[in-house]
């Protein structure tokens, strides 16, 4: 990444990193640019790549939902939001610090306590969604926490949604016979990492 920053400083192009190198006010140091670029790579690539592969896996494991998408392309927006809610690939959500004593979910918290949200649990809250453990691409869009909440929501969430819509639509359209090449239990999951996903997804098609 340091080499990339140096290259953009010497030969700028029409890209985000070149803009950060040459147009930031006040100017960013090379160390700051490397940090920003690494965050962009991790947040903008790892999350979307894993969401696409894990979303495809989920649809292949729920053939009725996959069939519904194939039969009605207008469901793609609903499907993206439902997959974001159902899968919640970022396991640890936003953290907050209490500014005063507060009771949350029947638990008394003192001031200056750190609260970390378990996003997968929040996105399957039965008080908010009926039958929350069921994947349903017909489910009306609701306010899930896949991208955080409030002023700390993910800046790239709209880009991620577009990438998922395009990626899933093309996958379903171009490969109508798409199916798993191995049993689901043989798919290696990234369940030991901060961003949940699959290490690989063996598929075949006809």
Q: What is the pLDDT of residues 46-90, one digit of tens each?
A: 889 999 999 999 999 999 999 999 999 899 999 999 999 999 988
Q: For residues 173-178, give the mean pLDDT.
A: 90
Per-residue confidence band for 182, with pLDDT thresholds at 50, 70 and 90 = very high
Q: Where are the domains of the chain?
A: 2-204
Q: Are 65 and 136 in contact (CB under 8 A)?
A: yes
pTM: 0.82
Q: Give the dihedral sign, CA 41/43/45/46.
A: positive
Q: What is the pLDDT of residue 77?
A: 95
**Rounded Cα–Cα distance for residues 35 and 40 (Å):** 9
Angstrom CA distances, 49 to 24, 187, 196, stand at: 28, 16, 11
State which H helix or E strand residue 93 sits in.
Answer: strand 92-97
CB neighbours of residue 97 within 10 Å: 10
Residue 43 has pLDDT above 80, yes or no: no
CA distances, 11 to each of 8, 17, 24, 30, 133 (Å): 5, 11, 16, 15, 51
User: What fold characterizes domain 2-204?
Assistant: Cytochrome p450 (1.10.630)
Which pLDDT does position 154 carry in this prediction?
83
Per-residue pLDDT at 149: 82
- Between CA 171 and CA 60 the distance in angstroms is 11
Q: Give pLDDT, residue 169.
A: 94
How much is the average pLDDT of 146-175?
A: 89
Q: Give the count of beta carbons closer than 10 Å to the beta carbon of residue 90.
A: 22
pLDDT at 64: 96
* Rounded (5°) CA angle 149-161-117: 25
């Amino acid at each position: 990444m340091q080499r990339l920053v140096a290259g953009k400083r010497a030969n700028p192009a029409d890209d985000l990193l070149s803009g950060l190198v040459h147009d930031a006010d006040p100017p960013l140091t090379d160390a700051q640019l490397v940090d920003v670029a690494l965050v962009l790579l991790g947040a903008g690539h790892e999350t979307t790549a894993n969401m696409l592969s894990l979303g495809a896996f989920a649809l292949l494991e729920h053939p009725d939902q996959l069939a519904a998408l194939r039969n009605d392309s207008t469901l793609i927006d609903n499907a993206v939001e439902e997959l974001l809610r159902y899968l919640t690939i970022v396991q640890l959500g936003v953290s907050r610090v209490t500014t005063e004593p507060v009771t949350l979910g029947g638990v008394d918290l003192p001031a200056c306590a750190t609260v970390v949200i378990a996003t997968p649990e929040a996105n399957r809250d039965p008080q908010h969604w009926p039958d929350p453990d069921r994947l349903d691409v017909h489910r009306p869009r609701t306010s899930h926490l896949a991208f955080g909440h409030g002023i700390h929501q993910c800046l790239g969430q709209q880009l991620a949604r577009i990438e998922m819509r395009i990626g899933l639509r093309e996958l379903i359209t171009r490969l109508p016979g798409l199916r798993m090449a191995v049993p689901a239990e043989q798919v290696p999951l990234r369940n030991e990492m901060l961003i949940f996903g699959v290490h690989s997804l063996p598929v075949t098609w006809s």
